Amino acid sequence: MKKTMNKSSENNEMRAEYEFKGGVRGKHHQAMQAGYTITVRKADGSTVVKEVKPQKGTVILEPDVQSYFPDSESVNTALRSLIRLIPAHRRAGARKTQAGSRTYQGSR
């Protein structure tokens, strides 16, 4: 007879046999930002190919920052309040260089 486990009895901890020594965090991040292809081979022999690329202007927040901003609106509100702190002459220069772009390009 096969023993079944219910969700409350599952152990959510890492097993001792998992070894992550020598692992590199973010190893594939740059490649993923460039885009990737998903190929699905169906049982009937057909193939579906999907190209996945981040939208232009996509910003990735680190997990510690994400915990403070539940949605895009809260991020935009916070950034707009910071933009108000930038001296007016720097803001005027940034607006001229935007040429219709909605993203803020601060000086380097």
Q: Residue 7 has what pLDDT?
A: 53
Tokens 């000086």 belong to residue: 107
Q: Residue 26 has what pLDDT?
A: 83
Q: Residue 4 has what pLDDT?
A: 56
Q: Which residues contact 106 (CB under 8 A, 6 or more apart)?
A: 86, 90, 94
pTM over 0.75: no
Q: Residue 105 has what pLDDT?
A: 45
SS3 content of the chain, % helix, strand, coil (to 5): 35, 10, 55
DSSP symbol at 102: S
For the chain, 108 residues long, give each residue's pLDDT as a single digit of tens. Answer: 555 555 544 667 878 888 888 888 888 878 877 888 899 999 999 999 998 888 888 887 888 898 899 888 999 999 999 999 988 777 676 665 554 445 444 443
